[in-house]
Structure 1
């Protein structure tokens, strides 16, 4: 299931290479709160793999429309259970229209092959 949000780009992080097979990049948009216009919602997204450059053409302060999926994972180690939720962006446009910058013919994120968990270390699986 895909979702969309429109807001002002306020943070654009650098790409982080997690392993030889996985990289990610995070960005944040400020979204007006419909119930209380005095309080905006600050929403963090991640983009992964070959999509990490999707945010590159956009500048801080620019209004963007983000198409994304919600991803959740259960992670267990040494008897501890954690749950993680990520907003996985797969398309970013200028707010108000314009051409998308997702690679032409790119598969939707739910069509991508999932990577196996990394072995060893105490790092979280993202």
Structure 2
């Protein structure tokens, strides 16, 4: 099940690659929650770490993530694993629709047909 949160980026850590080849990268997003803002840590793994390459602290983003849980030595741990990031105030995920300038005009075509 996917969840979303919207907030301002506080920090983006450098990618960490482990001996096994596993790579992860973490980002902290500040979410306004009434009187007490929440600092939410999200992790991105493997190829999803590249989603953070062009982001900067201070930007407003919406992050789509899954909740992952596991047990280790009788203790239980949860992670928020991000897989999609969209900048707020921009439509960065979808290209703009084509306009009339994107198509050639009839005068751009050569009327001399070779066959």
How does the TM-score come out when normalised to structure 1?
Answer: 0.70
Please list every run of at least 4 consecutive aligned residues from structure 1 whose deviation after the TM superposition is greater than 6 angstroms.
none
RMSD of equivalent CA atoms:
1.5
Classify the secondary structure of the residue corresponding to 1:53: helix
**Bigger radius of gyration, 1 or 2?**
2
In structure 1, the partner of 2:107 is: none
Which ranges in structure 1 are unaligned for 5 or more consecutive residues?
102-126
In structure 1, the partner of 2:57 is: 60
CA distances 1:63-106 after superposition (whole Å, capped 9, x unpaired): 01100000000112xxxx121100000000102452339xxxxx
Classify the secondary structure of the residue corresponding to 1:52: helix
Aligned: 1:46 with 2:43: yes
Q: Comparing 5-14 with 49-58, which one deviates more in the overlay?
A: 49-58
Which ranges in structure 2 are unaligned for 5 or more consecutive residues?
95-115
How does the TM-score come out when normalised to structure 2?
Answer: 0.76
